Amino acid sequence: MATAKQLTYTVPGVNCGHCAAAIEGEVGKVGGVSSVDVDLTTKQLTVRGDGLDADSVSRAIDDAGYDAEPA
């Protein structure tokens, strides 16, 4: 059984609802992701799920067109 995990990233370029939706859409496609939350105020992305792969999540953020650093 996979273990629930949470990953948090700082995404400096996220400024609006469209930005958040683009990131949520791409990251939501990653296997094991159960929720994606973008906080526009803090520019933080929180990803939760079972058996998350940090490299896959990072690639999905990049595919959405944004740079991110682990928080």
Mean pLDDT of 17-37: 97
> Distance between CA atoms of 49 and 18, rounded to whole angstroms?
23
For residue 58, report the phi and psi dihedrals to the nearest 5 degrees.
-60, -40
pLDDT over threshold 80, residue 3: no
Give the residue ranges of DSSP H helices in 1-71: 17-27, 54-63
pLDDT over threshold 90, residue 70: yes
**Angle at Cα 26 formed by Cα 22 and Cα 29, nearest 5°?**
145
pLDDT over threshold 90, residue 65: yes
Question: Which domains does the chain show, CATH number per domain?
Answer: 4-70 (3.30.70.100)
**Amino acid 2: pLDDT:** 57
pTM: 0.91
Mean pLDDT of 9-34: 97
Q: Which two tokens stand for residue 5?
A: 């995990």
**Amino acid 4: pLDDT:** 84
